[in-house]
Amino acid sequence: MTFFVNFFVAAVLMGTTLMYGTLGEILTEKAGNMNLGVEGLIYMGGSSGLIAAFLYERALGAGAVPGVSVALAFIAAFLAAALGSLLYAFLTITLRTNQNVTGLALTIFGVGYGEFFGEYFRGVGGGRLQISEAAGAIYSKPLLPAFLRDIPVVGKLLFSYNFMIYLCVAIAFVMAWYFARTRSGMSLRAVGEDPATADAAGINVTRYKYLATCLGGGICGLGGLYFTMVSGGGNWSTGAMDGKGWLAVALVIFALWRPLRAVWGSIVFGALMIMYMRVTQFHIPTEIYKILPYVVTVIVLISISIRQKRENQPPASLGVAYFREER
Amino acid sequence: MNRKEPLIRLAKRDDLGTMNAWIIRIVSIFAALILFAGLIVSVGYNPVSVYVAMIGGALGSPLNIQQTIKIMIPLLGASLAIAPAFKMKFWNIGVEGQITVGGICATYFALTFQNSWPSGVLLPVMCLAAAIGGGLWGMLPAVFRAKWGTNETLFTLMLNYIAIGVVKYLQGGPWEKVPKGTQMIERFAQTARMPNVWGVTAGGFIVLALVIFMYCYLRFTKQGYQIAVVGESEATARYAGINVGRVIVRTMFVSGAIAGLVGFIVVSGINYTLSDSVAGGVGFTGITVAWLAQLNPIGMVFISMLLAVLTKGASTINTLTHNALPESMSDMLTGLILFCMLASEFFIRYRMIFRTRQKEAAK
């Protein structure tokens, strides 16, 4: 039982980067834009957030307030990734470039950006790009009061996490509510399904696409922040985030473009990612465990295309640019 | 409130001419270089001297040129592999994985027969195995797409990581060199290595031959024409009596096979071993190269050369500045150039018409 509880907690901790990335990408894809730049956005967010906190603490020294450092890191991570997506949005929506190619360019740029500034500021910091212990504690400290955490089993399973995890779950619930229950959310989905019809119905397609892409990108950036601050302990290490963005893209499919499925999906993926460290009884090589998330995604992808259930399909116009004049 | 004419209107351009189009693209490259110069200044370096040092590092001596070409060969090969698939509007972003599988197949024969077969037999077998392996790996998503319409972008993307995971398993497991614990596969014996010509692997010639092959294949053959028709409209292709599913599967075999060949060239001609970074991202960068070259193989030669020069130049800068300017700056610069060139396509295709004063006065 303890093993299971610990395993579950570790899976949640591991999966949250993916949860942020996936939720951001779901928002983007629901508006019909397939942004393959998630990998780059996670890098941009992670490095910018860390650097903002680092520079602030360096400037003020001992006078730095940990809370301000956290707030600045949040703003920087969100803004950097949102600006990266704005670039993507401008290119694909206004300048009508190919979404796949532009997304890949964003990944190349974003990974380069993250690694470049991460390395550069590590040099500035004398070999270490790290936040203060006080600020780091805010990220790792459990959010909820002790009496909840002390409930046996359930307390550990549900109430023992840091604030970034609850924030992410909250985003998922808000998104699910937004898509299903609000007029604006339905308009957004209409834009992703059939932009021409949405346009005819008086929905501002361009505005929805821009907003969804930039907000979604910003959320992906928070995933990067989570990774550097929580998984990485507030410390930059080169190449550590490698592949997280692609896993998030995979998880979007696994979650069938539904925010709440992304929550438990990210726990499943987190579990698959750490299984090689914890479950060794079966004599399966560790590297085979690590490809499981991708194999599972392929199976899901194939089965949704074979079964053709309408509610499980990708947004119909996903990846297709919309030009009003070229209908 | 009177309705105003929008500030900018767009109109499709008539054909701009290849020459003018390339001038716009080159201008966009310079725009990216200028943007990046701002960044170099902000971290305290002189952009002009950085760029000069980069070009020197990439092209300054025969040895540097050889290393630049070494970077260019897989990149060009990968973009050639992408050309037929993208022409068909089949978004194959799995070239990374197809290269990897090609590398695995070639390496299997290298490790098994390098001490028993002569080079003249072993190398062609490795080459063939790589092409078939890569081709089949590429065909897999095509079959599902043709039969059930499975989304190929996501499918091919996932297959990349499965292929790379298999290599990670092989290099840490059955194929790991003795003594164990290095997570590396032994370097090939001489028999399994492709010879060098002028200090560069003979694989370069395979890629050059592929450039010509791909140019002719897409332009002058019946299959190339079918690819173009399917790419324009699947419905039209069907009415014209083209078996769309067959074209998709066949083309993806060709695409994957070329990628597999690139894998063979990398393991047998450049690295002399297999590692999980055998493709090293060229599958992704190759996509942008192919796209920016308008899927024209000749254009790919120039664009892949440009990116290779940047990559090699950036690693030189990194050495010269003792790590103060990290190597990853080439990725950032590559990304910027891609953005600018992508944006330039818009100005090649469309004309912007600004609102003029006279019209408003006339109203």
Spell out the SS3 assignment of A68-100. Answer: HHHHHHHHHHHHHHHHHHHHHHHHHHHCCCCHH
Q: Would the pLDDT of B1 be above 70?
A: no
**pLDDT exceeds cutoff 90 at A81:** yes
Q: Compute CA distances B236 → B148, B228, B242, B251, whole Å.
A: 19, 11, 9, 18
CB contact under 8 A, B335 and A95: no
Q: Do B336 and A109 touch (CB under 8 A)?
A: yes
DSSP letter for B200, please. Answer: E
Q: Is A93 on the interface with B (CB under 8 A)?
A: no
Beta-sheet pairing, B8-12 with B196-197: unpaired
pLDDT exceeds 50 at position B323: yes
CB contact (8 A) between residue A100 and residue B331: no
Euclidean distance between CA atoms B46 and B104, whole angstroms: 44
Q: Does B342 touch chain A (CB under 8 A)?
A: yes
Mean pLDDT of A180-202: 91
Q: What is the total residue count of chain A? A: 327
What does the pLDDT read at residue B136? 95
Residue-averaged pLDDT of chain A? 86
Query: B interface mutation test: which of A90, A104, A249 has the most B CBs within 10 A?
Result: A104
Please provide the average confidence, as pLDDT, over all residues in chain B: 85
Least confident of A45-49, B126-130, B148-152, B247-251: B148-152
Q: Is there a contact between B165 and A326 (Cβ–Cβ < 8 Å)?
A: no
Kindly give, in sequence order, each residue whose CB lies less than 8 Å from that of residue B209, ignoring residues fewer than 6 positions away: none
Nearest-Å Rg of the Cα atoms of chain B is: 23
**Prediction ipTM score:** 0.86
Q: Which residues from chain A sit within 8 angstroms of residue B324, using beta carbons?
A: 120, 123
Closest partner residue to B161 (CB to CB) among A100, A111, A294 is A294
- Which of the residues B274, B292, B328, B352 would you substitute to probe the A interface, choosing the one with the greatest number of A C-beta atoms within 10 Å? B328
For the record, the structure tokens of A43 come out as 């890098």
Confidence check: pLDDT of B70 > 50: yes
- Cα–Cα–Cα angle for B37, B42, B45, nearest 5°? 70
How many CB atoms are closer than 10 A to CB A141?
10
Asked whether the beta carbons of B13 and B349 are under 8 A apart, the reply is yes
Q: Is the CB of A290 less than 8 angstroms away from the CB of B153?
A: no
| E strand residue ranges, chain A | none
Is A115 close to B326, i.e. CB distance below 8 A? yes
Token pair of B97 as six digits: 């994985």
Given a cut of 90, whether residue A79 has pLDDT beyond it is yes
Across the interface, of B169, B172, B331, the residue whose CB is closest to A112 is B331
CB contacts < 8 A (A, B): 149
pLDDT band for position B263 (50/70/90)? very high
Cβ proximity of B79 and B286 under 8 Å: yes
Model pTM above 0.90 = no
Whether the predicted pLDDT of B237 surpasses 60: yes
Compute the C-alpha angle A158/A164/A170, nearest 5°.
Answer: 70
| Cα Rg, chain A, nearest whole Å | 20
DSSP H stretches of helix in B173-280: 203-220, 222-232, 234-239, 244-265
pLDDT at A281: 59
Q: What is the model's pLDDT at position B54?
A: 85
Q: How far is A197 from chain B (nearest CA, A)?
A: 22
- How far B348 CA lies from chain A's nearest CA (Å)? 11
The answer on pLDDT for A86 being more than 90 is yes
Which B-chain residues 113-152 have CB contacts (< 8 A) with chain A? Answer: 144, 148-151
Instruction: Answer for the pair A185, A179: CB distance below 8 angstroms, yes or no.
Output: yes
Residues A92-146 have pLDDT tens digits of 998 888 888 899 899 999 999 998 888 888 888 777 878 887 777 888 888 777 7
Q: Where are the beta strands (DSSP E) in chain B?
A: 8-12, 196-197, 200-201, 350-354
Q: Band the pLDDT of B89: cuts 50, 70, 90.
A: confident
The pLDDT value recorded for residue A48 is 93
Cα separation values, B24 from A106, B20, B34, B43, B291, Å? 22, 6, 15, 29, 16
pLDDT band at B357 (very low <50, low <70, confident <90, very high): low
Residue A101 forms contact with B (CB below 8 Å): yes
Return the CATH architecture of domain A2-326.
Orthogonal Bundle (1.10)
- B153:A101 CB<8 A: no
- Rounded-to-integer distance, Cα B315 and Cα B305, Å: 16
- Say yes or no for a CB contact (<8 Å) between A95 and B342: yes
pLDDT at A298 over 70: yes
Our CA-based measurement puts residue B121 at a distance from the nearest CA of chain A, in whole angstroms, of: 33
